[in-house]
Each structure stands twice: as structure tokens, then as C-alpha cells.
Amino acid sequence: ESAFIGCTALETVQMGEGLIQIGASAFEGCGALCALSFPASLASIGAYAFKDCVSLSEAGLSSVAKIGDAAFENCAALAAADLSAAGTIGDRAFRGCTSLITVTLSDSLQALAEGCFYGCTSLKEMVLPEGLLTIMRDVFNGCTALTSVRLPATLTRLEVGAFRDCASLTSV
């Protein structure tokens, strides 16, 4: 936990195979960090792990099963998130990722946690996987570029404000 917190000049990180987990706040506030290379063995990213890494533009997340609360909050340069292995995405995980355009979600995902894509102002469309049961409060709040969402037939719970202030939303 907090291994590299506040290392503001750190630009790149390459992690070795065998790494299973990144702890809470591990790289929080590393504002110059722009690229990450995760090993296929990485299964879990802790809460706040990359929060406020404002220059982070790419992060290979395709093998990660669990993403903690606010793990990538305010990563303003992050453009894509392949969450195809993530069965758990924490509260506010990608909140404030204003450059986030594309997101791929796992078929095993059952819930979108509170505010997990709040304020992702470049996100244009979302295809939610069959099997998704719950969209918690404020998940897409403030996603002003969001024009299209496909809700799965399995959805049983849609909480307050889930699509609040999605001014461009034309198709659900």
C-alpha cells in the first residue's frame, strides 16, 4: 500500500510476471505517470491505486478481475478501459476520467458500482453485458457525450441518478 504515492516525476512502470495484486494508493498522485504495462498474472488493483494519475493514457487491464474503489479516479488522459475480465468494479473506479471514450465490460459483471463512470465526459456509448443485474446510483452521472446505452434484459435494479445529466443521451 502507498508504495509510490506522490512520486510526481515517475513516468513509466513495467511490472514483472507473477505480480498478483497492486495495493491501495500504490501510485496515487503520480501525476507524470503516462504508461503502465501489467503482467497477465495481475488479478486485483486496490482502492485509489492510480487515483489522480492525470497523465495516464494507457493501462492494460484485460486480465484484472477486481478493480477497487476510485482506483483510476481523475485519470484525465485515460482513453480506453478493457474490463473484460473484471467481475468487480468499485465505487468511483473511473470517476472523472474525462478522456475515456471506450469501455469493454465483462460478461460476468453483475453490478456497476456507485459513480463508477461519473463525469466521464467523452464516453459516447455503452453496451452493458447480459447478466448485469444492478446499476447503482450516479454510475453515468455527468457523462455529457453519452448518446446511446443498451440495457440488458437481465437488469433488475436501476438506482437514482444513474443517468443524471446525460444531456446527449438519445437512445436507450
Chunked into runs of 10 residues, the chain (172 residues) has average pLDDT values of 94 90 97 90 97 93 95 97 95 98 94 98 94 97 96 96 96 90
Q: Residue 85's pLDDT is what?
A: 95
Helix and strand numbers (H, E) in the chain are 0, 14
Q: Residue 14's pLDDT is what?
A: 86
Q: Residue 25's pLDDT is what?
A: 98
Q: Residue 1's pLDDT is what?
A: 85
What is the CB-side half-sphere exposure of residue 69 using CA atoms within 13 A?
Answer: 2
How much is the pTM?
0.95
* Cα R_g (the chain), whole angstroms: 15
Q: Residue 19's pLDDT is what?
A: 95
**What count of residues does the chain have?**
172
The dihedrals phi and psi of 102, each to the nearest 5 degrees, come to -125, 140
Q: Which residues contact 168 (CB under 8 A, 6 or more apart)?
A: 144, 145, 146, 147
